[in-house]
Amino acid sequence: SAFEWVARRVVQELDHGGDLIPVTSLQSSTGFKPYCLVVRKPSGSWFWKPRYKHISLSIKDILEPDAPEPVLQHGGPFHIHDTVDGQLRTSVEVAVPGQGKVAGGASVSDSSSTSLNVFSLSVGPNTWQALLQERHLRQPEHRILQQLRCRGDNVYVVTEVLQTQKEVEVTRTYRREGSGLVSLAGAMCLQGEGEGHLSQKKTVTIPSGSILAFRVALLVIQSDLEVILFPDKKQKTFQPPPTGYRPFSSKGSWWM
Amino acid sequence: DLSMKGCIGNFWTDGVPVNGTVTEDFQGLRAEVEVVSKELALMDGQLCRLLLEGLERGLRDQLALQALEEALEQGLSSGPVEPLDGPAGAVLDCLVLPSRMLVLELAVPVVYLLGALNTLSKAQHQLLVEAVELKTLSRQLELVGSLLEKSAPWQKCSTLSLPPELLKSGWGVETPAWVLLEECGLELREDPPHVHWEPQAQDCVCALYASLALLSELSQE
C-alpha cells in the first residue's frame, strides 16, 4: 500500500538497519502510540518475520493509576525530501534542523519533488525507571494479560514512534512506459508531474500525527514489572509453567 | 521450540530438527513450502474443496482471516476452539473433531498458509481469489518463483529482467502479476519487463510464493 511504502521509506532513511518497525497500515497506526502494548505474532516460516499486533491496552492499564502521567521526549522534526526524475527515484535527503543534512542525495530533477516532515516521540530510560518504581502492577491481572499468559505470548511496550507532523497526501502514480512512481504532496511541498503518460493513480491521505514506525521493549511480568530495552532471546514476558506441565499438544510432539 | 518453525522443522527431516540447516534462499523457501504442500496433498479431495471455498471467502474479508488464524493458534496452544461465524467458521469446522479439538495434521499446514496470507495486502487477497477462480495460480507461482530465484542474494538490491515466456498472460500496470509484485514494494518497469529487487520486499514476496503454492495445491483436482 502507499502508506506502507512511505513508512518503509522513512525507516530506511532514518534508521536503516536499526530496530524501528514500519507500520503496515494506516488503519492500525493509532494502536502503536508510546506506552501501548503489542504482541508479536509468531511466524510459521523462516522466510517472513513475525508481525506485531496491538492489543488495545496501554501500560497504564496494567499499572496502579496513582502517579502523574510521565512526559515524552520529542525529537526532530526530520524533513524527508524525495526527488523523482520521471523514471526512477534518484535522490533522498534527510535534514535535521540545526544539524544540516544527515544523508545526502545526488541529483535533483524538476519532474517531481516530494516532501514529508516527521518527528519522534520516545520514553526516556529514566522515565521507565521512575515509572516502574512508583507504580505497581494492578491486581487482579487484566483479563487480556491472563489470556496472553495462558498462551505464553511475549508482550512488548512501544517506547518510541515516528509520527507525521502535517497531513500528507500520498499519490502512487504509474506510467504506461515507465516504473512506478511515488509522490507526496503536503502543505509545504511542490508536486510536478508529466502529462499524457499516466494510466493509474492511487491516493491516500495520511493525517498529521499518524505513526509510521515504532520501537518496542519487552515486558517481563513477575511479581513486579520490568521493561527490558535490549532483551535476549531467552527472556520471556511470563514465567514458563512448572516442569511436568504440558498444555494440550506441545506442537512439536505431534510431528515427532 | 513450540513455534510453527519447530513443527515444520521436525517434520521436514523426519524428526530431525532442521534449524541448523535452513538456507535463506529460494531453495530453502521451496523446501519449506514443499513440506507443508505434501501435508495438504494427503488431504481428502472433498476436504480440500471445502477448505479452499472457505479460504476464498475469507480472502474477501480480512478480519475473518485474522480471526481464523487467531483461533487456530489458540487451539494449537491451549485446547478446544470456540466456533466462529462466517467463512472463518466454515474453515474451522473442517479442522476440528466433535470435541472441538483441532486435528493437528490439518490445522498446522492451514496455520502456515494463513500466516503467509495475512502477510499480504487486501489487494493481493483479491487477486489471489481471482487467480483461484481463473485457475492461474500456477502461472503466477512460476513467475514469483523465478523472481525469487534470480534475485539472490536477497539482501542486495538488483534489477532483474523477466523472461517473456512467464509473461504470456500480460505484463503492465493493470495485470494481476504486476499488482501482486508491486504490492510487495517492488518497483517494476513495463517495457522491457524489469523488476527492481528491494531487500525489504523479501518477507512479502516469500509469503506470496508460499500462498500461491499452497492455494495451488488445494486447487488440484
Q: How many Å separate Cα A21 from the centre of its chain?
A: 4
Query: Given pLDDT bands bounded at 50, 70 and 90, which one contains residue A126?
Result: confident
- CA–CA gap between residue A80 and residue A115 (Å, rounded): 6
pLDDT digits (tens, 9 = 90+) for A238-248: 887 655 444 43
The whole-number pLDDT of residue A188 equals 38
Q: How many angstroms from the chain centroid is the CA of residue B102?
A: 21
A26: distance to nearest CA of chain B, Å? 12
SS3 annotation, A54-110: EEEEEHHHHECCCCCCCCCEEEEEEEEEEEECCCCEEEEEEEECCCEEEECCCCCCC
Q: How far apart are CA B31 and CA B24, in angstroms?
A: 11
Which regions in chain B score pLDDT beneath 70?
A: 1-22
Q: How much is the average pLDDT of A205-221? A: 92
pLDDT value for B217 = 94
Provide the pLDDT for residue B121.
86
Helices and strands (H, E) in chain A, number of each type = 5, 13
Asked which of A143-152, A185-194, B135-144 is least confident by mean pLDDT, the reply is A185-194
Q: CB contact, 8 Å: B189 with chain A?
A: yes
> Which cell numbers hold the place of B28?
530453502
Residue A167 to residue A103: CA distance in whole angstroms: 24
Give the closest residue to B76 by CA, choosing from B95, B98, B90. B95
**pLDDT over 50 at A24, yes or no:** yes
- Higher pLDDT among residues A57 and A243, named by residue: A57
Closest CB from B2, B8, B185 relative to A5: B185
Yes or no, beta carbons of A250 and B104 under 8 Å apart: no
Q: What is the helix (H) or strand (E) element at residue B116, kind and residue range?
A: helix B104-117
For the four alpha carbons of B199, B115, B212 and A255, in that order, the dihedral sign comes to positive
Task: Provide the pLDDT confidence category of residue A106 given band limits of 50, 70 and 90.
Answer: very low
For residue B209, the chain A residue with the least C-alpha distance is A47
Across the strands, what pairs with B160? B195
Cα of A251 to nearest chain B Cα, Å: 6
Confidence check: pLDDT of A85 > 70: no
Among B42, B203, B209, pick the best mutation site for testing chain A contact (most A Cβ within 10 A): B203
Q: Would you state the pLDDT for residue B22?
A: 65
Which of A48, A199, A200 minimises the CB distance to B203? A48
Q: What is the pLDDT of residue A247?
A: 41
Cβ of B25: how many Cβ atoms within 10 Å? 15
Q: Say yes or no for a CB contact (<8 Å) between B200 and A12.
A: yes
Residues of chain A positioned with their CB less than 8 A from the CB of B210: 45, 47
ipTM confidence: 0.83
> Do residues B214 and B40 touch, judged by C-beta distance below 8 A?
yes
Query: Which residues make Cβ contacts (< 8 Å) with residue A8, sequence separation at least 6?
Result: A22, B185, B200
The span from the CA of B139 to the CA of B132, in Å, is 11
Q: Which of residues 96-155 of B touch A (CB under 8 A)?
A: 101-102, 104-105, 108, 111-112, 115-116, 118-119, 121, 123
Residue keyed to cell 516469500: B206
Residue A67's pLDDT band, with cuts at 50, 70 and 90, is low
State phi, psi for B16 to the nearest 5 degrees: -95, 115
Compute the distance between CA of residue B205 and CA of residue B148 in angstroms, rounded to an integer.
8
Considering only the beta carbons, identify the residue of A47, A150, A200 that sits closest to B32. A47
For residue A77, cis peptide bond before it (omega within 30 degrees of 0): yes
Question: A199: phi > 0 → left, psi -120 to 50 → alpha, else beta; which?
Answer: alpha
Mean pLDDT of A67-78: 81
CA distance B51 to B92: 9
Report CA-CA distances (Å) from A19 to A38, A130, A229: 15, 24, 11
- Cβ-in-10-Å burial (0-12, 13-18, 19+) of A18 comes to exposed
